[in-house]
Amino acid sequence: MTFSVLAVHAHPDDEAIWTGGTLAKYADEGARTAVVTCTGAEGTLRARELERALDILGAGEPRLLGFADARNPDSAPGRPRFLDVPFDETVGLLVGHIRDVRPDVVLTYDGFGGYGHPDHVHVHRAALAAVEAAGYDQLYLDAGDPWRPHALYLATIPRSVVTSHWRAIFGADPEPGQALPGVPDDQVSAALDVSRWSERKWAAMHAHESEVGRGASMTMLTSLPEPARTQMLSNEWYRRIAF
Ligand SMILES: [Zn+2]
């Protein structure tokens, strides 16, 4: 059986930013890889950019749930915000993709959604519920045959990496009491050196051209000072939950 990896993300561009190195590495090593993106609709510019990014990463065709970004209704015109969709419906849709792909490993964000974006936090919760539910033959009977992945990997950043680059990125120290991205270093259970795939990751990030100049996280990442950029492109970190 071919090893299989499924990443579950909120927005087109997150697959490259958070898991691009991991996806490229496993695709090169012969694994089947796939990405579910919860917001963004087919036929939009961002969906076409996602298609290009997935092509660069070797992760197949887009699997779009088609809901709207919490902060950008144009991401899926006329569709509900992902955050407003009944939780059970979202979990059922994700169960369908898990049972279709039959992944050994599922990737998503940590419990803080990496840096607190409400769509990311929601994806974390839905993916956690869906990975468990997918294994039960009593649940979501119309969504395919039961399948239980071995592990869920939560993309995160070691707190020491966040604090060491904070000043270079934001020009000041964090405010006292500010909620910082990432988790304490001793809670990171897997650190992947993806430096061999960092150019592919960079190219996949830049496939999301419309995001690069929009002032969102892509703008911040593409304007990162060295060595923060090299460190972020060459490493991907995860917390592991076994099932
Ligand atoms: Zn995002």
C-alpha separations of 181 from 13, 115, 161, 174, 201 in Å: 18, 5, 10, 11, 21
Q: Ligand 1 center to residue 41 CA distance, Å?
A: 15
pLDDT reading at 44 higher than 70: yes
This prediction's pTM: 0.95
Do the beta carbons of residue 81 and residue 242 sit within 8 Å?
A: no
Q: What's the confidence (pLDDT) of residue 216?
A: 66
Amino acid at 45: L
pLDDT reading at 212 higher than 90: no
Q: Ligand 1 center to residue 68 CA distance, Å?
A: 12
Q: Ligand 1 center to residue 238 CA distance, Å?
A: 17
Q: Ligand 1 center to residue 158 CA distance, Å?
A: 19
Closest among 7, 76, 50, 33 to 205, alpha carbons compared: 50
Closest among 109, 88, 87, 86 to 36, alpha carbons compared: 109
Q: Ligand 1 center to residue 109 CA distance, Å?
A: 10
Q: Ligand 1 center to residue 75 CA distance, Å?
A: 12
How large is the average pLDDT for residues 186-212? 94
Question: What are the pLDDT digits (tens) for 14-40?
Answer: 999 999 999 999 999 999 999 999 999
Closest among 156, 90, 178, 101 to 127, alpha carbons compared: 90
How large is the average pLDDT for residues 142-170? 93
Q: Ligand 1 center to residue 141 CA distance, Å?
A: 30
Tell me the angle at which helices 45-57 and 14-28 cross, rounded to the nearest 10 degrees.
30
Q: What angle do CA 194, 15, 214 make, to 5 degrees?
A: 110
C-alpha to C-alpha distance for 192 and 18, rounded to whole angstroms: 12
Q: What's the confidence (pLDDT) of residue 24?
A: 98
Average pLDDT, the chain: 94
Closest among 164, 147, 113 to 6, alpha carbons compared: 147
**What number of CA atoms fall less than 13 Å from residue 79's CA on the CB side?**
22
Q: Ligand 1 center to residue 207 CA distance, Å?
A: 15
C-alpha to C-alpha distance for 81 and 140, rounded to whole angstroms: 23
Question: What are the pLDDT digits (tens) for 89-136?
Answer: 999 999 999 999 999 999 999 999 999 999 999 999 999 999 999 999
User: Please, which pLDDT band fits residue 3 given cuts at 50, 70 and 90?
Assistant: very high
pLDDT reading at 228 higher than 90: no
How large is the average pLDDT for residues 66-89? 95
pLDDT reading at 219 higher than 80: no
How large is the average pLDDT for residues 155-175? 89
Three-state DSSP class for 81? strand
144: left (phi over 0), alpha (psi -120 to 50) or beta: left
Three-state DSSP class for 38? strand
Q: Ligand 1 center to residue 184 CA distance, Å?
A: 22
